Every structure is written in C-alpha cells, then in structure tokens.
Amino acid sequence: MHQNEFVQLITPFKDKVFRLAKRLLVSTEEAEDATQEVMVKLWAKNETLSELNSVEAMAMTMTRNYCLDQLKSKRAGNMSIAHSNYQDRQAGLQQQMEDGDRLQWVERMINDLPEQQRMIIQMREVEEYEFEEIANVLGMNETAVRVALSRARKVLREKMMQIEQYGIG
C-alpha cells in the first residue's frame, strides 16, 4: 500500500481516534501523541490492512489499548469522559449556568460507572458508533453491549431523577 492510499484509508476516522484518546487521556497533547502512535502502528501494518474487515475498528481498539496502557503506566485512575465540545450559543447566561451544572453532574455520574460502561456510553452517545462497531472494538458481543448500555443509562437516569427532584415530596 502506498502512502497516498494509506492516508485516504485513515482520513475518515482519524478524528474519531483523536477524540477517543482525548476522552481517555484528557490531555490534548497526550491525545495527539496517542493518535500519532496509533497511526504509526497502522502504517507498520500497512501490507496487511487490506485483509481486515474494518481498519477503523482495529484503529479504535489500538487507541483504547494504547490509552489504557498509558493510564496504567502513570497510575492515573481518574479518567474523564467530558464532552468538551458542548456549547449552547443561543441560551442566556442563566441557562448556560444551569446547563454547565447539569453537564458536571452527568460527568461525575459517568465517571462513577464501571470502565466498560463508560467506554460504551462514550462510543454510543458521543461518538455515535453502531452497536456492531462497539462490540468489535471492545471484544464483546452485540447483545452484551446493548445490555451494558441499558444498565448504564438506567443508573444515570436514576441519579438524575434524584438530583432533579431533590427536596420535592
């Protein structure tokens, strides 16, 4: 595979790799390093990439594994899955404050989920992956992904209900 073919192959999902790395590592610089490392590893395997069903799934798996290795090596147990691209440009200051507070609560609640559920929430709700893609990346079957996502959503919904109805009743 030539360099131009490789670039055309990875361009559609390169930003997704970066966003996943940023969610896991939090630091933009570390996410850029992780993305570059994954791209170098893919280039090293460029002769066998055409044999794969989904190069994107392999890249996402490599990204996840690389980031988890980085976190383990630094013993950083505090992963943040914050959707930092969130902005409501039409809302007034009061609404922005309320939205910011809610986002912080949801962030905290997501951080309290088990790692697998955090990853599934990230990939499904933020990255908008299909269930089959999530299953491939995480090495699970599709039904298990659906069940884990359902359980994570239920926990988040129950916690939000507690927060929203605090002091009522």
- The least confident of 19-28, 66-75, 110-119, 149-158 is 66-75
**C-alpha to C-alpha distance for 121 and 60, rounded to whole angstroms:** 15
Tell whether 102 and 146 lie within a shared domain.
yes
- Whether 96 has a pLDDT exceeding 80, the answer reads no
The confidence score (pLDDT) of residue 94 equals 77
124: DSSP letter: I
Greater model confidence, 134 or 166: 134
> Residue 61 burial by CB count (10 A; 0-12/13-18/19+): exposed, middle or buried?
middle
Residue 83 lies in a domain: no
The residue-averaged pLDDT of 69-89 equals 56
Whether residue 79 lies inside any domain: the answer is no
**DSSP code, position 123:** I
The whole domain housing 154 covers 93-164
- Please report the pLDDT score of residue 140 as a whole number: 92
Q: Give the CATH number of the domain where residue 64 resides.
A: 1.10.1740.10
Q: What is the CATH number of the domain that holds 138?
A: 1.10.10.10
Name the residue with tokens 């599934």: 120
Look up the pTM and report it: 0.49
Residues 38 and 101 reside in one and the same domain: no
CA dist., res. 106 & res. 19, Å (int): 19
pLDDT band at 97 (very low <50, low <70, confident <90, very high): confident
Query: Is residue 121, in this structure, part of any structural domain at all?
Result: yes
pLDDT at 78: 42
Please tell me the distance from the alpha carbon of residue 157 to that of residue 115, in angstroms, as a whole number.
18
- pLDDT tens, residue by residue, 108-156: 888 888 989 998 998 888 888 999 999 998 999 999 999 999 999 999 8
Question: Domain for residue 81, yes or no?
Answer: no
Asked whether residue 6 carries a pLDDT value surpassing 70, the answer given is: yes
pLDDT at 150: 94
CA distances (Å), origin 83, targets 73, 93, 149: 25, 20, 18
DSSP code at position 89: T
**What angle, rounded to 10 degrees, do the helices at 55-74 and 3-25 form?**
40
* Across 71-92, average pLDDT: 54
pLDDT at 89: 55
CA distance 62 to 59: 5
Is 87 a domain residue? no
Query: In 145-164, which positions are buried (b, 16+ CB within 10 angstroms) versus exposed (e)?
Result: bbebbeebeebbeebeeeee
